[in-house]
Homo-oligomer: A and B are copies of this chain.
């Protein structure tokens, strides 16, 4: 078994290869040519921590993957990152362990951001005049970084709850060539952007429908478990196109679940990302400049197996 450290993984990582494989994973997921057993979850109340085990196999692939990711939210008090984890790849022909990726959660962050890139490819307006970012942590940085291949826009408006983190964000992303302005509210972000990505672990809506301008696309990646929510359900209701990474999962949690349970939308309106990628067409009507579109990405294990295979197989 090969063992890769986080630094080695970052050195081996190739964005184009990873995107291509994640796209293939989403297509296989929507074609149901995958095995994705139910997620295993742990709660560690005394340590303010949780863990999930996500496993997947894309039929016909050389390897399947088991990913363990942990979030222990008091870790920063003792100088440790909140997130950790690893992925193990196993041969689908002999069952032998093939590779251990000690990525410390990095690949999960990246595959989440790459799903945002795929969603933007299908759904972002042809002319993006401002990119809005809600949140200012690592995921907010990666989402913006990976938007570069799908839009020429470099004007960015960011807001997150921490003023200090907003400052760091401006500094780091400006170094990548973006014109970044920290805003005082999510409302100001919405007023300046027609491509918005929300990246926070919020448990209440941060964006209200009346703030969203016609012609905007929003990708929401924060609501990866029950009770998390970043968008006003009225935004989902208003959207002409609602794309999800997993109809099954987003019906249970994610932004869409709130709109479904409030009766604002019907499950039949949901389009699965993999099915759209399979069709090879944009999901946005580029002749309708007022159209609002939403992508709700909760994270599925095919992303994990595919990004791991892109690095470690």
Contacts and interface: CB of A to CB of B under 8 A. Distances in A.
Interface in A48-104: 49, 51, 53, 55, 57, 64, 66, 68, 70-72, 75, 78, 80, 83-86, 88, 90, 92-97, 100, 102
B40 A40 contact: yes
A88 B68 contact: yes
Nearest to A95: B70
Interface of A: 1, 3, 35, 37-38, 40-44, 46-47, 49, 51, 53, 55, 57, 64, 66, 68, 70-72, 75, 78, 80, 83-86, 88, 90, 92-97, 100, 102
26 contacts: A35-B42, A37-B40, A37-B53, A40-B66, A42-B57, A44-B57, A44-B92, A44-B95, A46-B93, A47-B94, A53-B53, A53-B66, A68-B88, A68-B90, A70-B90, A70-B95, A70-B96, A72-B94, A72-B95, A80-B94, A84-B95, A84-B97, A85-B97, A86-B88, A86-B97, A88-B88
A84 B94 contact: yes
Contacts of A68: 66, 88, 90, 97
Contact of A95 (B3, B49, B96, B97): B49
Contacts of A86: 88, 97
Given A3-B3, A42-B64, A66-B66, A90 B51 contact: yes
Contacts of A53: 37, 40, 53, 55, 66
Contact of A41 (B37, B70, B88, B92): B37
A51 B70 contact: no
A42 B43 CA distance: 25
A83 B96 CA distance: 9
Which are the 7 A-B pairs with shortest beta-carbon distances? Answer: A70-B95, A37-B40, A72-B95, A47-B93, A84-B95, A40-B55, A72-B94
Contacts of A47: 92-94
A44 B59 CA distance: 9
A178 to B, nearest CB: 32
A38 B37 CA distance: 10
A106 B93 CA distance: 20
A36 to B, nearest CB: 9
A57 to B, nearest CB: 6
